[in-house]
Amino acid sequence: MIEVAGLTKDYGGTRAVDGLSFTVPAGAVTGFLGPNGAGKSSTMRMILGLDRPTRGTARIGGRRYRDFAAPMREVGALLDTEAVPPGMTARAHLEWLALAGGLPKGRVRASLDAVGLGAVARRKVRQLSLGMRQRLGIAAALLGDPGTLILDEPVNGLDPEGVRWIRTLMRGLAAEGRTVLVSSHLMSEMAETADRVVVIGRGRLIAETGIDELTRHGAGGRVRVAGPTPAPLAAVLGDAGFAVEWAPGGAALLVSGAEPAEVGGLAAHYGITLHELVQERPSLEDVFMDLTRDSTEHAFAATGGAPSEQRQSTAGRGPR
């Protein structure tokens, strides 16, 4: 488990992280989401001991990263694939990491095979595609077979097959009981991969919840219902206090503020036949955009034009 408590980081006169607290439990994939400049990378660096917090603590399994005797066996991280020396081969890069971490040399071959780079192990890093460099970074994170993984934008540069592979890998690692924290700007991918999310904006917590709970209560969630006599159904639902509108085409009703069981129960009570009754939820992307609307560094008007700074804080907004 990762525990972040009151974490604050100031760079000169700029506060990048502001009293941030959240947990990342073992056995689940936790998505770490936020607009550009939200403080995600700064938070990850503080968890890994690369930056010292101005205030607050970040612990992994109850300990600070710097207190681990063999950190690579405890935590694997992918932060910056461009930091790898371009003149080294993929194998050599992992070999010196294994040597530095006191790991057996056999872990190099196992990690390369795990990410599908065994065939290009002797190729220099500069000759690898962006997707291959991402896989090499993930191989480095897996080198010590750690119980905690912290991955910053791991799907960057991966083709569709690679994206599916990393999704399966992360979910498999979590299923083994490991702690997995992953940041990404691809909301559709996070919706497929993460069990829960931590959303931050301007260095502050906006939401910490399960994916299902977040989308269930997000703006735009509603029930779609249809039947041979929609007008009486609309009247019944309206009398019950639900907001009802006609779907495009007029063949179905869209009911806000209701659960499918409530709509179905009312229809059954009044003997109204239904042909369709489904829960429509907003996408993770829609909910994310709504939650972080006032937390982006810049916002563009709908008609285009120059960006304008957003000054309003969103601390305390949205599900916790």
pLDDT at 309: 36
Domain 2-215 grouped into CATH 3.40.50.970: no
Q: Which of 24, 25, 21, 43 is nearest to 34 (CA)?
A: 43
Q: Which residue has the tokens 């700074």?
A: 309
Q: Which of 54, 49, 52, 42 is nearest to 10 (CA)?
A: 54
**Sign of the CA dihedral 183, 187, 188, 193?**
positive
Distance between CA 164 and CA 148 in Å, rounded? 21
User: Can you read off the two tokens belonging to residue 287?
Assistant: 């909910």
Domain ranges of the chain: 2-215, 222-280
Q: Which residue has the tokens 């009398």?
A: 239
Q: Which residue has the tokens 């006169």?
A: 13
Strand 75-78 vs strand 148-152: parallel, antiparallel, or unpaired? parallel
CA angle 175-178-179, nearest 5°?
115
Distance between CA 318 and CA 314 in Å, rounded? 9
What are the residue ranges of helices labelled H in 116-186?
130-142, 160-175
Q: Which of 161, 196, 143, 187 is nearest to 26 (CA)?
A: 196
Distances, alpha carbon 131 to alpha carbons 80, 81, 228, 274, in Å: 13, 10, 52, 49
Q: Residue 263 is which amino acid?
A: V
Q: Which residue has the tokens 């550009």?
A: 36
pLDDT at 59: 97
Cβ-contact 17, 9 below 8 angstroms: yes
**Sign of the CA dihedral 284, 289, 294, 298?**
positive
Distance between CA 192 and CA 171 in Å, rounded? 10
pLDDT at 298: 45
pLDDT along the chain (320 residues), means of 10: 97 93 97 90 95 96 95 93 86 94 93 93 92 92 96 87 91 96 87 91 90 66 88 93 89 87 94 90 74 61 39 36
Q: Which of 215, 220, 214, 207 is nearest to 317 (CA)?
A: 207
